[in-house]
Structure 1
Amino acid sequence: MALGRAYSVALTGIDGQIVEVEADIGQGLPGVHLVGLPDTALQESRDRVRAAVANSGQSWPSAKVVLALSPATLPKVGSVYDLALAAAVLNGHGKVPADRLRSSVLLGELALDGRVRGIRGVLPAVMAARASGWPTAVVPQANLGEAGLVEGIEVLGVADLRELLGWLRGEVPLRAAEPAPAAAAGAAPNLSEVVGQPAARWAVEVAAAGAHHLMLTGPPGVGKTMLAQRLPGLLPALEERAALEVTAIHSLAGALPPGQPLITLPPFIAPHHTSSVSALVGGGSGMARPGAVSKAHRGVLFLDECAELGTKVLEALRTPLEDGEVRLARRDGVARYPARFQLVLAANPCPCAPARDVDCICPPTVRRRYLGKLSGPLLDRVDLRVRMLAMRAGVLNAEVSEDTGAVRARVAVARAAATERWREFGWQTNAEVPGPALRQRFRPSRAVLTPLEEALRAGDLTARGADRTLRVAWTVADLAGHTVPTRTDVKAALGFRDRVVA
């Protein structure tokens, strides 16, 4: 009887765990038996691995082969274990030594001819290996740039099984990861292309400066989508830690742009209004996949025609908006994905959406029902609400508005002030500050809070709405260069919530 070992990584959401792959070659009828809660793709790896070994010039044991993946209670999903399974069998068969296998994790899918195919989720898998103290990770050549983003661990790329076996025997070196090239910034849409709409432009600037959620309503053609598309251009580039988080999520979703292993700019995700709950927050059978809210992590989630979305879909946003993450329980376990994004909603005032309200042909009940899908608890989480009006005259001859660069400079100054103020508490933007901190340690004077108290007394605000209004007031103050919010800043923040939406 012979026993071989190799190691790989199992992913549950963006969290990884080391998996020990054992191959027992013993007496019995020739065959391959796989244990350790494998899914269908992993069950099929028995045939893939055997064919790849044979087509790489190696002999497969003419005996009973038992392959065990531990921990046995952890569900194993996907084809990421192929490389480790082949190495464990050949180690137990005496074809390769165990020296390098003891200190390396192997990730990759095998083709029948022995080629190593790229896989999803390489970045979080390598990050998990580094966190567990492993010195070396071997990944498919196609994923080498992505895996090389992780520092503190040696990352090597392999093109086929022959190359891996030569490296395990000490005969050939593997390609080491090289520093990832800087992503070239594409031509972002410019804010100067939006004509008029000063109130909505100001709301977008405030949203960018404080990472606040925004809702735009108005008839078709007034610039709601144009403004939303220009919001990411006002946001600062992602810091290293945030860039790795975003890249890890897109790696799991198989959505990394070709030739760009690291995402450094805030993502802009705009799902169609017919999207399901699973498409929005994540889901699927087995282990849940990330949805649009997680792909928009550290960026913007734009829901155009939000009133056309199903009520269940919209209500599914409430938890990620509050918690900044999604926890999805499925058959194979609970997957956790970060989802701290800026939500931008856009909607027409009614189904017929005329340019002038007097031309509306919708009955009052239809108008109420249309935007009534946006429940009070959901709207309470939206800090800025703006009603955009149709442009009448002067559109063609209007002066060019401020461009993205000028507005981005003001946003950067405001964000720097907020970051410096909240640095010792670990917060970066005003939208992240908890309500108790705003009401206690950083509470403005009584005279400044008078408009807020009056709105609460009149029932126009909830306690959560008051906290969110205070956050917006701090952002308005940062843009104005004030060290603390003034009464005018609080009134301006309150005005964003008082605006008529429907």
Structure 2
Amino acid sequence: MRSSENSISARRFTAGGWRSSGRLAARKKWTISPTIEIVGLPGGAVRESKDRVRAAIRNAGYEFPPRKITVNLAPADLRKEGPAYDLPIALGVLVGSEQVPAGLDAGFVFLGELSLDGSIRGVHGVLPAVLAAVNAGFRRLIVPEANAGEAALVDKAEVFPVRDIGQVLRFLAGEEEIAPFQVNLEALLKVPPDRHPDFAEVKGQPTAKRALEVAAAGGHNVLMLGSPGSGKTMLARCLPGILPDMDFAEALEVTMLYSLSGLLEPGEVLITRRPFRAPHHTTSPVAMVGGGRTPRPGEISLAHQGVLFLDEFPEFKREALEALRQPLEDGAITVSRVAGSCSFPARIMLVAAMNPCPCGFFGDTRKECACTPHQIQRYIGRISGPLLDRMDIQLEIPRLEFQELTAETGVAESPRIRERVEAAREIQRARFSGPARCNARMTVRELRRHCRLTREARELFGQAFRMLELSARAHDRILRVARTIADLDGAETIDSRHIGEAVQYRSLDRKYWR
């Protein structure tokens, strides 16, 4: 109680308010502590940058200003995430405190995370950031050495790799030369050796191999249904080995998505292999679509220009499966959150595998199914009609016989299949202009222009349409598959053989779902 009274008596109220008096005022020193305040919706990593900036400036041999500093990240209504702001904040502090001449940094864009000792670490999302900077009119960029390769992929960008903040300041002052980083695109576009299984390793299943060849040639979605152990997963994992190589524009799109997600391997500059994503069936709808407080790409977008493989298809959450419908049609997905919305590309081949019932043996020739009709219908019904409609090719994978399992593996099949696929894709590249580079992406107008049927093919298609009770979407998708089969044959017009094979790939719809 006495200490409280002494504290109160040490202050007197005057016209100007409370003031210190007596011996307490003599001892008190009024100073302003050096602090950094960051405004403009900074995320957690951005707020923590003030401690990294303070330590890096001091360890680089400069003085941290002994006053309050406010860093404004404009625009104020856009949330800022990640440590890439460390380097520009540190340079702003040094310029503001007149330790670095004003204007020395003019015309440059800076990206990089600072370590406490002043070294500069690599950050995620450099490739899309550099592309945005170049589009905004900036050409000279200073980036961490670890990110120089991906940053230099952007045309017209002059990229200067740096290792620490001291080197940045010496370069800006003209005391040290840094050569712009150059990449060898020809070497980067050389695809590494194939790591996927060869189709020769798949025992039997000639019909399934032919169907996957058609799917690869036209970029079509595939549903495989069969009992456990029939080879569905093995077939799906062989599929990337027969897909054509990506061109530079496609590889750049994929690399930007992986850079943004922080999934580039150390030292990896450009992704040249088509992605193959196989998420577990417990994957949440948000992980499938993308999102987070600041939207990030999900599995659908990470499979862009490649294959999204969903094993145990009915076991995925219903919301995750239904989220596939719009991207399969549009080739893109828009993720909207409170912090904003982002559109990500999602031109994928969806390959799904499932059992015909909960026990897996409905329709099996040797093992009896233990499921009731209600259980089978309930299991099959997890795949909605609209989603099933988007599966261009539907395959029933039969059980393998003993003779097929013991047959010797022949010569590699995937290279020969890939040659035929690339020849069909070359026909499609010559046919289309713009983003539709394969038959699976044909618009309704392009269907009318490029899918000309012979009279016999038209009559056969009409009979199948009425017998199978097909929807308008199924009608168009059969035409696209038939166009791909004709391309594999090198035919200009779709005949009855092409239509017959394309219709055959829709037989599961009537057998299991009706």
TM > 0.5:
yes
1:158-217 deviation line (CA, Å, top 9, x unaligned): 111111111122111235323155353343311111111111101100000000000111
- What number of residue pairs does the alignment pair up? 474
Letter in 2 for 1:320: P
Divergent runs of 4+, >6 A: none
SS at match of 1:247: helix
1:291 to 286, 292, 298: 298
SS at match of 2:73: strand
Aligned to 1:328: 335
Aligned to 1:19: none
1:419 to 402, 405, 429: 429
SS at match of 2:84: coil
1:235-286 deviation line (CA, Å, top 9, x unaligned): 11111011000001011111112332101111111111111111111122x2
Q: Distance in 1 between matches of 2:454 and 2:215?
A: 25
Residue 408 of structure 1 and its aligned partner are, at CA, apart by 0.5
Question: Looking at CA atoms only, which structure, 1 or 2, has the larger radius of gyration?
Answer: 2
Aligned residues of 2:456 and 2:495 also touching (Cα < 8 A): no
SS at match of 1:374: coil
The root-mean-square deviation of aligned C-alpha atoms, in Å, is 2.0
Aligned residues of 2:199 and 2:413 also touching (Cα < 8 A): yes
Please, what TM-score do these two structures have when normalized by structure 1?
Answer: 0.90
Aligned to 1:371: 380
Residue 304 of structure 1 and its aligned partner are, at CA, apart by 0.7
Could you tell me which runs of 5 or more consecutive residues in structure 1 were left unpaired when the two chains were aligned. Answer: 1-26
Residue 448 of structure 1 and its aligned partner are, at CA, apart by 2.5
Q: Distance in 2 between matches of 1:235 and 1:37?
A: 44
Aligned to 2:394: 385
Q: How does 1:259-270 map to 2 (within 5 A)?
A: 259-270=267-278
Aligned to 2:169: 165
Please, what TM-score do these two structures have when normalized by structure 2?
Answer: 0.88
Aligned to 2:244: 236
Q: Distance in 1 between matches of 2:206 and 2:411?
A: 9
Could you tell me which runs of 5 or more consecutive residues in structure 2 were left unpaired when the two chains were aligned. Answer: 1-30
Aligned residues of 1:387 and 1:501 also touching (Cα < 8 A): no
Aligned residues of 1:213 and 1:384 also touching (Cα < 8 A): yes
Letter in 1 for 2:308: L
Q: Distance in 1 between matches of 2:344 and 2:442?
A: 21
2:81 to 77, 82, 104: 77
Aligned to 2:355: 348
Q: Distance in 1 between matches of 2:391 and 2:226?
A: 17
2:67 to 56, 63, 87: 63
**Residue 198 (structure 2) pairs with residue 190 (structure 1):** yes
2:410 to 373, 377, 400: 400
Aligned residues of 1:196 and 1:401 also touching (Cα < 8 A): no
SS at match of 2:402: coil
Residue 367 of structure 1 and its aligned partner are, at CA, apart by 1.1
Q: Distance in 1 between matches of 2:408 and 2:512?
A: 27
Residue 128 of structure 1 and its aligned partner are, at CA, apart by 0.9
**Residue 97 (structure 2) pairs with residue 93 (structure 1):** yes
Letter in 1 for 2:136: S
Aligned to 2:28: none
Aligned to 1:36: 40
Q: Distance in 2 between matches of 1:272 and 1:278?
A: 14
In terms of mean alpha carbon deviation, does 376-385 or 32-41 score higher? 32-41
Q: Distance in 2 between matches of 1:473 and 1:402?
A: 27
Are residues 277 and 409 of structure 1, via their aligned partners in 2, closer, same or farther at CA, if it must alter by over 3 Å?
same
Aligned to 1:13: none
Q: Distance in 2 between matches of 1:198 and 1:459?
A: 25
Q: Distance in 2 between matches of 1:402 and 1:59?
A: 66
Are residues 442 and 205 of structure 1, via their aligned partners in 2, closer, same or farther at CA, if it must alter by over 3 Å?
closer
Letter in 1 for 2:81: V
SS at match of 2:249: helix
Aligned residues of 1:307 and 1:374 also touching (Cα < 8 A): yes
Q: How does 1:101-116 map to 2 (within 5 A)?
A: 101-116=105-120
Identity %: 44
**Residue 480 (structure 2) pairs with residue 471 (structure 1):** yes
Aligned residues of 1:123 and 1:248 also touching (Cα < 8 A): yes
SS at match of 1:448: helix
Aligned to 1:271: 279
Residue 456 of structure 1 and its aligned partner are, at CA, apart by 3.6
Q: Distance in 1 between matches of 2:482 and 2:450?
A: 16
Q: Distance in 2 between matches of 1:365 and 1:379?
A: 20
1:25-80 deviation line (CA, Å, top 9, x unaligned): xx976422211121222112122211211111111111221111112222211111
Q: Distance in 1 between matches of 2:464 and 2:448?
A: 16
Are residues 426 and 149 of structure 1, via their aligned partners in 2, closer, same or farther at CA, if it must alter by over 3 Å?
closer
Aligned to 1:483: 492
Aligned to 1:128: 132
In terms of mean alpha carbon deviation, does 90-99 or 205-214 score higher? 90-99
In terms of mean alpha carbon deviation, does 380-389 or 213-222 score higher? 213-222
Residue 458 of structure 1 and its aligned partner are, at CA, apart by 4.5
**Residue 259 (structure 2) pairs with residue 255 (structure 1):** no
Aligned residues of 1:191 and 1:230 also touching (Cα < 8 A): yes
Q: Distance in 1 between matches of 2:409 and 2:82?
A: 56
Residue 151 of structure 1 and its aligned partner are, at CA, apart by 2.2
Aligned residues of 2:252 and 2:270 also touching (Cα < 8 A): yes
Aligned residues of 2:126 and 2:147 also touching (Cα < 8 A): yes
Are residues 227 and 476 of structure 1, via their aligned partners in 2, closer, same or farther at CA, if it must alter by over 3 Å?
same
**Residue 493 (structure 2) pairs with residue 493 (structure 1):** no
SS at match of 1:166: helix
Residue 98 of structure 1 and its aligned partner are, at CA, apart by 3.9
Aligned to 1:437: 446
**Residue 223 (structure 2) pairs with residue 212 (structure 1):** no
Letter in 1 for 2:227: P
Aligned to 1:301: 308
Aligned to 2:143: 139
Q: Distance in 2 between matches of 1:149 and 1:206?
A: 33
Residue 467 of structure 1 and its aligned partner are, at CA, apart by 0.7
Q: Distance in 2 between matches of 1:58 and 1:65?
A: 16
Aligned to 1:280: 288
Letter in 2 for 1:114: G
Q: Distance in 1 between matches of 2:203 and 2:124?
A: 42
